[in-house]
Amino acid sequence: MSKGKIIAIDGPAGAGKSTVSKIIAEKLKYTYIDTGAMYRAVAYKVIKQNKKITTPVIIEAAENMELDLRYDDGITKVFVDGEEITNEIRTPEVSKIASDVAKIGFVREKLTELQRKMATRGSVIMDGRDIATHVLPNANIKIFLTASIEERARRRCEELKSKGYNVDQNEISKEINLRDKQDMEREIAPLIKADDAILLDTTNKSIDEVVNKILDLTINS
């Protein structure tokens, strides 16, 4: 059993990052840190304010928010200003605004600082868009997880349907394409594979295959 390592998983929406990260965290008794949930929490707070969404409104929301992530028993519970919003942050609307708030330097600096603090004790698996390139460049294992757009849209669709949302795969495909483009093209800490990250295409791989590959890399690193 490996102890104390840091695993960074980056990749586009729907690549399977959170699914595999949760399983690996459970197997290694590591803490799973879902950084996307943090950007989603900022987006949720901004939406709830019911104001026109502008950069100053986003900065103000991020500045004054108390964000708490509690990872327990395979579930990341998300709290903003004391309110639990674990399920509320998974809607397509929050996904879209999360990508918008993620462009803003103030938001990224605040969340990056928090993410680095959360990783200081090691035994951590963190997923996101800029973990290997920016948040934890000294991570022991760096993975860039991806899959075809059709497969990623199919997975996202299934996930949302299982939660009771009525969604159309074409719409989801458009939505994640747009979001990935925005995440890849932003100026600060864009979504990009780190030079030293291992590229894993999960299109035709089972969850087990992907998990075992990352476990092998971790144990042998």
By beta-carbon proximity to ligand DC, the closer residue of 28 and 155 is 155
As given in the structure block, the two tokens for residue 192 are 């990009």
Q: Looking up tokens 């600060």, which residue turns up? A: 188
Of residues 183 and 200, the one with the C-beta less far from ligand DC: 183
By CB under 6 A, is residue 35 in contact with ligand DC?
yes
Chosen residue from 8, 20, 59, 102 binding ligand DC by CB under 6 A: 102
Token readout for 101 is 């708030």
Nearest residue (CB) to ligand DC, 39 versus 144: 39
Bridge partner residues of 125 (DSSP): 7, 32
Q: Which of 19, 21, 76, 99 binds ligand DC (CB under 6 A)?
A: 99
Residue with tokens 């996930």: 159
Give the nearer residue to ligand DC in terms of CB position, either 40 or 45: 40
Residues numbered 105 to 144 that lie near ligand DC (CB under 6 A) are 128-131
Indicate the SS3 state at residue 52. coil
Q: Is residue 80 classed as helix, strand or coil in its secondary structure?
A: strand
Per CB under 6 A, does 13 bind ligand DC? yes
Residue type, 57: V
Cα–Cα distance, 46 to 174 (Å, whole number)? 23
- Binding status of residue 11 toward ligand DC by CB under 6 A: no
Q: How many residues bind ligand DC (CB under 6 A)?
A: 15
d(CA 24, CA 172): 27
Beta bridge partner(s), residue 48? none
Chosen residue from 30, 32, 39, 144 binding ligand DC by CB under 6 A: 39
The residue type of 83 is: E
Q: Which of 23, 43, 41 is nearest to 32 (CA)?
A: 23
58 binds ligand DC (CB under 6 A): no
173 touches ligand DC (CB under 6 A)? no
Distance in Å, CB of 99 to ligand DC, minimum: 4
x/- mask, ligand DC, residues 76-95, rule CB under 6 A, reads -------------------x
Whose structure tokens read 């969404």? 53
Q: Residue 141: enclosing H or E segment and its boundaries?
A: strand 141-146
Binding site for ligand DC (CB under 6 A): 13, 35-36, 39-40, 95, 98-99, 102, 128-131, 179, 183
